[in-house]
Chain A
Amino acid sequence: MNQLRRTFLKSTGAAGTVAVAIAAGLLRPGQVLAAEWNKVAFDATTTADAMKGMNVAGAAESKDILIKAPDIAENGAVVPVEVTSKIPGTTSIMILVEKNQNPLIAEFEFSNGAEGFVSTRIKMASTSHVKVVVKAGGKAYTTSKEVKVTIGGCGG
Chain B
Amino acid sequence: MLRSSEAGGVVYSRLIAKEGDESTYELFIGPQHPASGHMRFIVRLEGDIIVSVDPDIGYVHRTMEKLAEGREVIKSIPLLERMTIIDSHNVTLGLVRALEKLLDVEPPPRARYLRTLLSEINRIASHLYGMGIAGIMLNHSTMFMWAFGDREVWIQLAEDLSGSRLTHTYSVPGGVRRDLPQGFADKAEKAIRYMEKRLRDYMAIFLDNPQVRARYEGVGVLRKSEASRLGIVGPNLRASGIRYDARLAEDYAAYSELEFEVPVREEGDALARMLVRVEEIKQSMSIIRQVLRKIPDGPFFSEKYLRLLPPPLREQVAKTGRVKFPGVFASLKLPEGDAVSRVEMGHGEIFYHVTGNGSTKPYRLRVVTPSFRNVILFRYLMPGHRFMDFPAIYGSLDYFPPEADR
The answer to whether A and B assemble together is no
Q: List A residues at the B interface (Cβ < 8 Å).
A: none
